[in-house]
Structure 1
Amino acid sequence: MVAEEAEVLVVGAGLAGLRCAGVVAAAGRDVRVWEAGDEVGGRIRTDVVDGFRCDRGFQVLNPAYPELARSVDIANLRLQHFGAGVGVRREDDAVILAHPLRRPTRVPGMLAKRAVRPSDVVALVRWAYPALRPSALTANTGGDTTLLAALDDAGLRGELRRVVDRFLAGVLLDDGGSTSNAFALLLVRMFALGVPALPAAGMQALPRQLAGRLGDRVSTTRRVVEVSRDSAGWRVTAEDGAVARARHVVVATDTRAAAALAGTDPVPTHGVVTDWWASDREWPGPPMLFVDGRSGSRGPVVNTAVISAAAPTYAPAGRHLVQASALWGPGRPEPAETQMRAHAAEILGVDAGGWQPVIRHVVRDALPAQPPPLRTRRPNRAGAGLWVCGDHRDTASIQGALVSGRRTGAAVLRALG
């Protein structure tokens, strides 16, 4: 087989790899992308089952991410927004808690309805206030601590503490509070600036838009098994026997594959299980993400939502799509679908008797862990002409993946001269 030649070969067509390749291609340099899967997107994939759009592992897109507008045409995604806040299942009822930074005028109403206590609101504002100054969060990483310790220090207690804990557990895929508090506050800032949404065609519309700009430079079903140095530069070998030679190679895979191909140290990751169900019953509630605010351990679900209430394009006309997610990993057995369904129905306050399973996603390395102190801009150079990018090299988010891809692409261009 004749070796493919390129100035730059990017291994992996996730967000980071596609963004990196786009930066290099925009400068007029010769770049190719090899992707192991049958489609672009990496961990951001959308399965269409019987007309339902089910993203692999529940995901949302926050249009407030600064890097997003620099990377894609947001209007072309036709975003469908969730409500600004969170639905909470209580002992006897459910309540909607508006985001206090985005909807401060609704706080008095929540206090009047006894949805929250004044002392808890003060504690929450005390904890969240640094989110107004993001530069201080990233500059003073030496003062960073765990999310658990920071919430304790702020004096947040009771039901509102449970809501914050369980909401962030679904965002960070960490219910132990071991995540960097600075990172959690950066995400809180994004929730204050933008309302999470879903593209009309599913989350995979984001990487597809990036890949569309690269045309035939992207090859799928090309799983790389070896990256090695030779006299001419770098030699990349795929599982199907294909070989490429390049002056520069960018490994834009998950942290495990990057460790195997580029010799970098892998970072710990969190996993998630997401179940999707179809329902014919009309949803009377708001288009919100719901969590269980009751005391004690109630079940495996960290969040649930009637997705089609916020994103009608995710379900066929007249039908509805429900999702529920649970944390998964070492020491956490995969929960049964019946457990997930029962707990999700409790949280939403509906009868799940008519729900039909659509698909289940089990994502082992869904999100890199982000312990304190917060470390952004990890080194992206693994050797002379060998680079690594991904959300495990920046912040564990779509924002981090896009930033990592852009700055790696810029570094490659500087090296090319």
Structure 2
Amino acid sequence: MTRGASEGAVDVVVVGAGVAGLACAQDLVAAGLRVRVLEASDAAGGRMRTDVRDGFRFDRGFQVVNTSYPQLRRRLRLSELRLRPFTPGLLVHTPQGKLRLGDPTRHPRMAADLRPGRLATLRDLAGLAMMSGRDLLAPPRVLKRQTDRTTRTALAQAGIGDELVETLFRPFLSGVFLEDELETSSRFFHLVWRSMLRGTLCLPARGVAAVPELMAATLPDGTVAFDVPVERLTDDGVLTARGDELAAPAVVVAAGPAAAASLVPGLRVPATRSVTTYYHAAPERPRAEPTLIVDTARRVLNTVVLSEVSPTYAPPGRALVSTSVLGVDETEGGEAEVRRVLAELYETDTTTWEPVAAYRVAEALPAMPPPWPLSRTTRVSPGRYVCGDHRATGSVQGAMASGARAARELLADR
């Protein structure tokens, strides 16, 4: 892979080396096409980047890898990622204390967490069990054909009452969808719930950047060029910010919503959800387990000791805590307020915790209200295509699937 655009004729230019663009490039190269991927930044990944400083690994926003994603399993050997799992469950902070919710299908001893009266009523738990069983066993095509409603409506129709919604689903799903009203597409919710029941949430030992790095490594040398921003599309290909024109009969724009709209005038893009992730270094681990903590008061979306998930995220003798809050938090004292909340959530003194990084991600996910098309065409004009999670669903699976669709449609058009 090179730092600038290489010379030579190509069949396709892919603008953007996130996982959508890389998936598209993989499939086009496999079909025998000559492909050039132009990336504006200094490395592959888009939003899936990891910074390494002072022995810490900082993913650019809290992210996880789900082992059940079909696109991920198709494109990579999961063993190469050296995945480290989260606990299959949650700790829910409530005014009455912490409640643990585990997955009894993986650890039968966790069934006690679901006894009636502890977390919810028997009726609520029966509704949860029936919904989970259906989502676990039903083929994805069945879930995709359901009438699309809000997630909150779908939970009510499953027989899950407000108490369990407010104690479990709303605080947990706020961190998944980056919105706290449960207004996201119910079809997408059921697919996400299915993936969580069937897969394991993990972190790669080298950070989430390992996913796009391994994808890029499967492409022929010279395919991906870094530090090459694209200024605009031309009739013959693309014009870079340096004034160089790269000709190709087909161009795939695999960028975020705002960047894609700037390159493709008239492109309709969805609203987006934003998030801020704070990283704190603690002198000792505040909780000795790789378990996600959510807060029913929703002061934070979630928090976890990342170095308990994977020790590679912190140097010896230090612990790294990741905490996310909804929106782009630029308020004065925002970090200090988060640290105050963490003292309550972890039941420890956080005054000695060092704020070591903060990432404000403005286009973290597309907003997906119903009716949300789980996939849409990538064709925008002859020889021009747009892919990304904003053209499918807000997930690694959705981004890769959109890239795969762009490749299929491009090949069909040839």
TM over 0.5: yes
Find the counterpart in structure 1 of residue 348 from structure 2.
350
Q: Is the 8 A contact 2:40 2:226 kept in 1?
A: yes
Range 5-14 or range 332-341, more displaced: 332-341
Q: Does 1:204 align with 2:209?
A: yes
Contact 1:4-1:245 within 8 A present in 2 as well: no
CA displacement 1:218-265 (0-9 Å, x = unmatched): 111111111021xxxx23111122210101000000111111212321
Residue ranges of structure 1 left out of the alignment (5+ in a row): none
How far apart are 1:107 and its partner, in Å? Answer: 2.7
* Partner residue of 2:51 out of 47, 53, 59: 47
Paired residue for 1:281? 284
Whether the 8 Å contact between 1:35 and 1:222 is mirrored in structure 2 is yes
Distance 1:161 1:130, change over 3 A: farther
User: Would you say the 8 A contact 2:232–2:263 is kept in 1?
Assistant: yes
Q: Residue 142 of structure 2 is aligned with which of 136, 140, 143?
A: 136
Q: Which residue of 2 aligns with 1:261?
A: 263
**TM-aligned CA distance change 1:2 to 1:288, over 3 Å:** closer
Match of 1:167? 172
1:165-244 equivalences under 5 Å are 165-214=170-219, 215-229=221-235, 234-244=236-246
8 Å Cα contact 1:328/1:334 also seen in 2: no
Cα distance in 1 between the residues matched to 2:256 and 2:6: 28
Kept in 2, the 8 Å contact 1:89–1:348? The answer is: no
Letter aligned with residue 245 of structure 2: V
Partner of 1:395: 393
CA distance in 1, matches of 2:346, 2:165: 18
From 396, 400, 404, the counterpart of 2:402: 404
The aligned amino acid for 2:128 is L
Tell me how far 1:113 sits from its aligned partner: 8.3
User: For the Cα contact (< 8 Å) 1:3–1:243, is it kept in 2?
Assistant: no
Kindly tell me the number of residue pairs found equivalent between the two proteins. 405
Distance 1:352 1:178, change over 3 A: same
Paired AA for residue 242 in structure 1: D
Q: Distance in 2 between matches of 1:298 and 1:410?
A: 42
Letter in 2 for 1:271: S
Q: CA deviation at 1:104?
A: 6.3
Cα-to-partner distance string for 1:303-349 (whole Å, 9 max, x where unaligned): 0001111111111122110010011059x968710111111232222
Question: Greater shift after overlay, 176-185 or 87-96?
Answer: 87-96
Distance 2:410 2:163 in 1: 50
Identity between Structure 1 and Structure 2 (%): 38
Q: Do 1:254 and 1:390's aligned partners in 2 also have CA atoms closer than 8 Å?
A: yes
Please report how far the alpha carbon of residue 13 of structure 1 lies from its aligned counterpart in structure 2 after TM superposition.
Answer: 0.3
- For the structure 1 residues 127 and 334, does the alpha-carbon distance in structure 2 shift closer, same or farther, using more than 3 Å as the test? farther
Q: Contact conserved, 2:23 with 2:400, CA < 8 A, in 1?
A: yes
Matched, 1:65 2:69: yes
CA distance in 1, matches of 2:383, 2:165: 50
- 2:162 matched to which residue of 1? 157
Contact 2:116 2:122 in 1 (8 A): no
Contact persistence 2:16–2:38 (CA under 8 A): yes
1:95 partner SS:
strand
Call closer, same or farther: CA 1:298–1:237 in 2, change over 3 Å. closer
Report if the CA contact (8 A) 2:287-2:346 is conserved. Answer: no
| Alignment-mate amino acid for residue 16 of structure 2 | G
User: Deviation of residue 159 (structure 1)?
Assistant: 5.2
Task: Give the secondary structure class of the aligned counterpart of 2:73.
Answer: helix
Q: Distance in 1 between matches of 2:79 and 2:176?
A: 24
Q: Distance in 2 between matches of 1:302 and 1:39?
A: 29
- The residue matched to 2:274 in structure 1 has which SS? strand
**Residue range with higher mean Cα deviation, 109-118 or 241-250:** 109-118
Superposition RMSD on alpha carbons, in Å? Answer: 2.2
1:407 CA displacement: 2.0
- CA displacement, residues 56-88 of structure 1 (integer Å, 9 cap, x when unaligned): 110000011111111112110000000001111
Distance 1:50 1:222 in 2: 29
Secondary structure of 2:212's aligned partner: helix
SS at match of 1:121: helix
Cα offsets for 1:164-191 (capped at 9, x unmatched)? 1110000111111110011111111111
Q: Is contact 2:102–2:113 with CA below 8 Å preserved after alignment?
A: no
Partner of 1:270: 273
CA–CA distance in structure 2, aligned partners of residues 372 and 35 of structure 1: 33
**5+ residue gaps, structure 2:** none
Change (3 A) 1:387 1:110: same
Cα shift at 1:388? 0.8
Q: Aligned residue for 2:323?
A: 324
